[in-house]
Amino acid sequence: MSDRTVSFGCGTKVLVEALIVRRAYSGLLEGAPTPEVNRNMITGRMRDVRRSLPSTKPHLVEPIPLVPDRQWERLPIYCCGAELMSHQPARDPNRMMSMGVVVWFQEDLPTQADLAAVAGRLRWADVAEDGDW
């Protein structure tokens, strides 16, 4: 794996075009992280990713809520989005390339190893949309 590529679980290697990071609860002024608040925060972060990385519909890796104090389920601290591109189509052999956006949540700022771990659990064909130059 080079500094610019990651491999999906199906073996497809893709280029990392962009990476964005936001705090999961960015914009939340008050309140506890209830399941409804968490769902609203996930929806808001997906909207942020769509605005920042408009190439394709984002694929969400559902976050696993954490229960640090046994009172409230909270999301991991960071929401991460990666725009990925392959010079090969994901499904349609008549197309020239494919692009995908993956969104996931994690406790620490993301590294390439974190993105590789997320991608390793997915199939490129489930994430990407085929296109032409």
What amino acid is encoded at 1 in this protein?
M
What amino acid is encoded at 90 in this protein?
A
pTM of the entire predicted model: 0.92
CA dihedral 87→88→93→98, nearest 10 degrees, is -80
Q: What is the mean pLDDT of residues 76-94?
A: 96
- Per-residue model confidence as pLDDT tens digits over 47-81: 999 999 988 999 999 998 888 667 789 999 999 99
Chain mean position to CA 57? 11
How many domains in the chain?
1
E strands in the chain = 5-7, 13-23, 58-60, 78-86, 97-106, 129-131
- Per-residue model confidence as pLDDT tens digits over 17-28: 999 999 999 988
Domain that holds residue 86: 5-131
The two structure tokens encoding residue 26: 């960015």
